[in-house]
A and B are shown apart, each in its own frame.
Chain A
Amino acid sequence: MSLSQSFFAERFGVTERDLETYLGDALSAGGDYADLYFEYLATTSIGIDEQIVKSATEGVTLGVGVRVISGDRTGYAYSDDLTPEKIRKAAKVAACIAKGPASIVKTGFELAQRHDLYPMVKAPNELGLAERVELVKRADQAARAYDPRVFQVQATYADNLRQVMVATSDGRLSVDRQPMARMSVMVLARDGDGPPQHGYSGGGGRVTLDFFLNEKTPEYFAREAARQAIVQLGAIDAPAGETTVVLGPGWPGILLHEAVGHGLEADFNRKNTSAFSGRIGQQVASPLCTVIDDGTIGSRRGSLNVDDEGVPTRKNVLIENGILRNYMQDQLSSRVMKSTPSGNGRRESYQHIPMPRMTNTYMLAGQSDPEEIVRSVSKGLYCATFGGGQVDITSGNFVFSATESYLIEDGKLTRPVRGASLIGNGPEALKYVSMVGNDLKLDEGIGICGKEGQSVPVGVGIPTVKIDRMTVGGTNA
């Protein structure tokens, strides 16, 4: 696709000449690099609650962000109006970060290479609203049908289509059309008049409505949410203190995201404020652990054809057999660290400055049979599903919240336990990984990662993993 066939040329008449002018304004006071990020985002969401389709919302936002890098300084401005005067004004504001004579903008653009990870026959917003309403109704019915103890169901279906164009002062131009869809189901269940319990499930990715008709149906997510709520009805207090923890496959990969992922983002390491700073080549995990960040997996939530700085995403090895190999880079950090961008430059929207961020982060499968892993534990905790997590980059301490876990007693899963937080230290925790299953699974596609006020969609994955020592934050001391 050339610029002239792109969304922004067709809809707003943006030409190469315009882009050169804006970039020239951005570098009018000097600076090493400038880029423009054009974004048009159309969203739809539909929600059912108490068996009533209570909400349906559509919206459109558009704008352009202008960034100037001068040394390790960044100037940024944006406009929600794509008229040339407004964009030029934003470019001149961003330019103020540099103080000198104008820098040269390369004339002519080369269309950057990109993947084709989410081909679409139809854009999500070209499909009927009625079909989407049907999805949330089906979810509601399936959750209620799962068990008579289910008494509240909320289901939401949301999709969006993002048109982006990135133009850089070193002559790169990339365009992309990024779909995203997600279904989520929240269920409450109770025994008679007993206290309610909560279950949650959801999924999706860079897919359209078809995915929920053919691959993962509303019933699939609804039953899973209902199942979790019902399991919790029989839960006992979670243990308190250090114990052996077995993580189930899939979404528990959030461990990697918190324990090592954030600490390996280059901005923290450029500033030497990460617990992983200066540790490339060192042992930071057991030799059983190889951790990858891969933005190139087809249709995954964290995947991108090009990152938000116009660089094609890659499959990056972060930790190889326990040895720290690479940080995740964006334009700014790779310039300062004299490295190369790794396709991890991401931002929430045109109003935000890009940062190094994860895409899909997972651990490679090992040799162990998952059942054998559980059998090897005489006393411990098996965590099947998690809520969220958080990390303190500098100390390396991280927390993630188990929402469905079971006691392991004499090699068997016994009682379900109540939700609890687990805490560990990033550079230490994975050293206690003693078994890695052969059952790598990626999550269902619900992850949202927050960093410095910016949210971006991400994926995680992990096989069944045994961690010999971890602190579980229950109440049963």
Chain B
Amino acid sequence: MTELEKIAAGAVERALKSGATDAECTISEGEEFSSNVRMGDLATVKEAGSRGAGIRVLVGQRTGSSYTSDLSREGIEKMVAAALELAKITSEDPYAGLPEREDLGQISGDLQLYDDSIARMEADWKVEQARQAEKVALAFDPRISNSEGASFDSHLSGRVFANSRGFVGSYRTSSCGLSVVPVAKENGSMERDYWFTSARTASKLESPELVGRRAAERAIRRLNARKVATQKAPIIFEPRTARALLGDIFDAVNGSAVYRHASFLAGKLGEKIASDALTVIDDPTLPGLFGTCPFDDEGVASRRTMVIENGVLKSYLLNTYSGRKLGLKSTGSAARGITGNAGVGPGNFFTPAGTKTPEQLIAGIRSGLYVTELIGGGGNAVTGDYSSGAAGLWIENGELAYPVSEITIAGNLKQMLMDIEHVGSDLEFRGSIASPTLLIREMTISGQ
């Protein structure tokens, strides 16, 4: 066992000796580096590391939790004592408890979560990537004469989990990312946009040239935006905004919301809840991605879950607790910080790519909205009501015609899911939730 695994297992053991009937301990450690360059000059460098431990104990069916940043023997002892003290004041919960032994485990094989190259990157090289991305963005067009800057960040982290049913596991992750935020200005119109790339290994990053150019193109095309008339129209979500819609779907299949009836998808298992075009999968086993992990935050092995298949709701995403409440098995979707009762989180939660390119989807629209930014608002998982600020480009006769902003788009997720007509071919994983371009038949646009 590593040093941290020993500390975690030791904390669990101490809890049992002190009167807990079950216990689980999480330790996380991280090192972060971030740098920011603005207008060609270095603006910020930050570099540091930290650790934290958390424990959750059960005394019969009562639970208590605590955490600390002090991993010394004394710190861990205090943490365990605090959790046991708290277990005295909570209620008996018949559904509380750790996963069954047979559900514990982890998937084997190289998940490509950690790459040494990130630990070896020189600070100067990282700063230079940011400088280069910003330089390209600033040189792209004379209308780009200002910038919020460019950043290069890297993170190394470790996560350890141990429980009183014999599970001890740990994994390390690495990641790095480059982003730039240019500001475009013309005729009193000022707009910013961004582009970013991130990966678990430096070799998979997009080049600074590409990041700079994309960010600049995006900022420029927003200039002199109009506010369109209030109307109903087809909407195309580009991947960056479609991802937010997938996030709304995640909220509705989250087992913690489902057992409380706080989701419009509660009670709909096996039913047709979306158009045939929509399939949604959660797969934390895909190597090298941001939602990948060998086991979830309760020590349950990661697995692929078909959530929505050709419009039919196949599964919710469940941790042990929400599974028990619904009479179902955990899907290995437990998520938490370092302490407390586990919630539910996404692995790699995505819609598989369709066949049509975004250009083909746009070409099929006579008059509609191509959404490139969502701001504020979003979906209400309880009712499905959806309303969000938006900006993007107006589609006229199958082509992107002019930028629009200061509008909202609204509908109800129940209908929106049924109205997904097409899924684009452009799936990319830029986070743990990912989607290709999505085309929705009709939503309400509020403008002038």
A residues engaging B (CB < 8 A)? 46, 49-50, 52-63, 72-80, 90, 93, 96-97, 129-130, 133, 151-152, 154, 188, 190, 195-198, 238, 240-242, 258, 271-273, 275, 351, 353, 388-395, 397-401, 418-425, 471-477
Contact = CB atoms under 8 A, between A and B. Distances in A.
Contact of B408 (A53, A133, A421): A421
Interface in B22-70: 38, 41-48, 50-52, 54, 63-70
Contacts of B85: 129
Contacts of A49: 260
A477 B232 contact: yes
A152 B67 contact: no
A399 B231 contact: no
Interface string B197-234: 00000000000000000000000001001010011100
Given A394-B192, A473-B446, A56 B146 contact: no
A258 to B, nearest CB: 8
A80 B92 CA distance: 36
A77 B48 contact: yes
B45 A473 contact: no
B187 interface: no
Given A75-B45, A474-B444, 11 more contacts: A54-B93, A76-B45, A76-B46, A129-B86, A152-B261, A242-B446, A351-B50, A395-B192, A399-B388, A419-B387, A473-B388
A400 B69 contact: no
Contact of A425 (B46, B82, B147, B406): B406
A54 B260 CA distance: 14
B170 interface: no
A473 B409 contact: yes
A424 B382 contact: no
Contacts of B157: none
Given A55-B63, A198-B262, A275-B190, A418 B383 contact: yes
A22 B225 CA distance: 51
B387 A473 contact: yes
B30 to A, nearest CB: 10
Interface stretch (B161-169, B273-281, B373-381, B394-402): B373-381
B389 A399 contact: yes
A176 to B, nearest CB: 20
B262 A188 contact: yes
Contacts of A129: 85-86, 89
A151 B67 contact: no
Contacts of A57: 64-67, 86, 339-340
Contacts of B405: 395, 397
B69 A62 contact: yes
Contacts of A475: 387, 410-412, 444
B44 A424 contact: no
Contacts of B52: 61, 80
A55 B341 contact: yes
Contacts of B341: 54-55
Give the most central of B90, B385, B389: most A CB within 10 Å: B389
Nearest to A387: B377
B65 A62 contact: no
Interface in B424-448: 444-448
Given A50-B260, A54-B63, A195-B383, A93 B389 contact: no
24 contacts: A55-B63, A57-B65, A58-B82, A72-B41, A76-B47, A76-B48, A77-B47, A77-B48, A96-B45, A130-B89, A152-B260, A154-B260, A195-B383, A258-B376, A273-B146, A353-B46, A397-B391, A399-B388, A419-B385, A420-B387, A422-B408, A472-B408, A473-B389, A474-B446
A392 B89 CA distance: 45
A53 B89 CA distance: 8
A242 B447 CA distance: 7
Nearest to A45: B340
Given A133-B89, A423-B406, A78 B43 contact: no
Contacts of B388: 399, 421, 473
A210 to B, nearest CB: 19
A395 B43 CA distance: 23
A468 B71 CA distance: 58
Contact of A59 (B68, B147, B406): B68
Contacts of B375: 390-392, 397-399, 423
B264 interface: yes
Contacts of B64: 56-57
A420 B388 CA distance: 8
B96 to A, nearest CB: 7
Contact of A56 (B86, B261, B447): B86
B91 interface: yes
Given A55-B63, A62-B69, A423-B406, A273 B389 contact: no
Nearest to A57: B65
Contact of B69 (A63, A133, A390): A63
B44 A198 contact: no
A275 B188 CA distance: 10
Contacts of B148: 271, 273, 394
Interface string B405-420: 1111111100000000
B248 interface: no
Interface in B251-269: 260-262, 264
Contacts of A395: 189-192, 222, 225, 391, 405
B423 interface: no
Contacts of B411: 475
B58 to A, nearest CB: 12
Given A63-B50, A93-B47, A389 B68 contact: no
B146 A272 contact: yes
B53 to A, nearest CB: 10
Contacts of A471: 227, 406-408, 446-448
Contacts of B68: 59-61
A423 B389 contact: yes
A283 to B, nearest CB: 16
A471 B446 CA distance: 7
B119 to A, nearest CB: 16
Given A73-B43, A394-B192, A418 B262 contact: no
B65 A56 contact: yes
Contacts of A60: 67-70, 78
B250 to A, nearest CB: 18
Contacts of B445: 240
Give the most central of B45, B46, B340, B341: most A CB within 10 Å: B46
B149 to A, nearest CB: 8
A390 B383 CA distance: 22
B377 A59 contact: no
A477 B261 contact: no
